[in-house]
Amino acid sequence: MKTLKFIAPLLIALVALGLQQAKADTYSFDLSTGNPGISGFTGPYVNVNVNLTSSTTATITFTSLTNSGNIYLMGDGSTNALNVNASSFTVGTVTGTNNGGGTPGPFTVNNFSGQTVDGFGSFNLTIDSFDGFGHSSDSTTFTLTNTSGSWANAMAVLFANAGGSLAAAHIFVAVDGTTYVNLNATGYAANGGQVPDGGTTVMLLGAALGALGLVRRHLTS
């Protein structure tokens, strides 16, 4: 009986811990592929964290990464872009920080499909920040609410577009929060994408058409 008195609180604590861990459903990935504007700077550039807080709500956080002495701030048009796995959804207030002293935002939310981000295909959510580098952020956070269904887990909140991208960001390369490397050091990064393939697709298409022509000649001869 005495043993049970000691074991019972321990079992309750373990069950409570298990329930708490079950609620913590997060998914994190990096934006490591840069388009030509920033491909000369070493990635990864930004981390994206998806925190599923309920079956219909998720908190999204984009965080600038530092690599090779550069910090990759986010700003201007398509500061952040996502392909949200929902036919309809709402976006809460977007907040930004810049520990280097910049003034993030204000932000504009564009919540509709077919928005193209340079080199990385189309997304159904983009967030723009006012003006350029002076209003860039080293972190942005906002909440998504699924109004057309529910998400089974954090990984189900986003889905890849035709180019394989879940998310993208508009990057300004800086040596700190306030010093822009140069006027050309800006571009876009994603976790995958439709970066030009150097003509491989065109060559494959040409080969396929050539093979089709041979087949037609063989059938008609």
**Cα–Cα distance list, 27 to 2, 21, 43, 53, 158 (Å):** 43, 14, 20, 12, 10
pLDDT at 221: 52
CB of 137 within 8 A of CB of 63? no
What pLDDT was estimated at residue 8? 43
Q: Tell me what percent of the chain is helix, strand and coil, each rounded to the nearest 5.
A: 20, 35, 40
Q: What does 80-141 look like in DSSP terms, one character per residue? A: EEE-BSSSSEEE---EEE-TTS-----EEEE-SS-EE-TTS-EESEEEEESSSGGG-BSEEE
Q: How confident is the model at residue 15 (pLDDT cuts 50, 70, 90)?
A: very low
Average pLDDT over residues 166-181: 94
pLDDT for 83-134, tens place per residue?
999 999 999 999 999 998 789 999 999 999 999 998 899 999 999 999 899 9
pTM of the entire predicted model: 0.78
Give pLDDT, residue 102.
82
Confidence category of residue 163, pLDDT binned at 50, 70, 90: very high
Q: What is the dihedral of CA 5, 10, 11, 17, to 10 degrees?
A: 160
φ and ψ at 101, to 5 degrees? 110, 0
Q: Is the backbone peptide bond immediately before 36 cis, with ω within 30 degrees of 0?
A: no
Tokens for 112, please give them: 């509709």
Region of poorest pLDDT, from 144-158, 176-190, 193-207 = 193-207
- pLDDT surpassing 90 at residue 81: yes
Q: Is residue 135 predicted with pLDDT exceeding 90?
A: yes
pLDDT band per the 50, 70, 90 thresholds, residue 24: low
Neighbours of 107 (CB within 10 A): 20
161 pLDDT more than 70: yes
The residue with greater pLDDT, 91 or 197, is 91
Tokens representing 191 are: 């976790």
- pLDDT of 200 > 50? The answer is no
Q: Is pLDDT larger for residue 219 or for residue 24?
A: 24
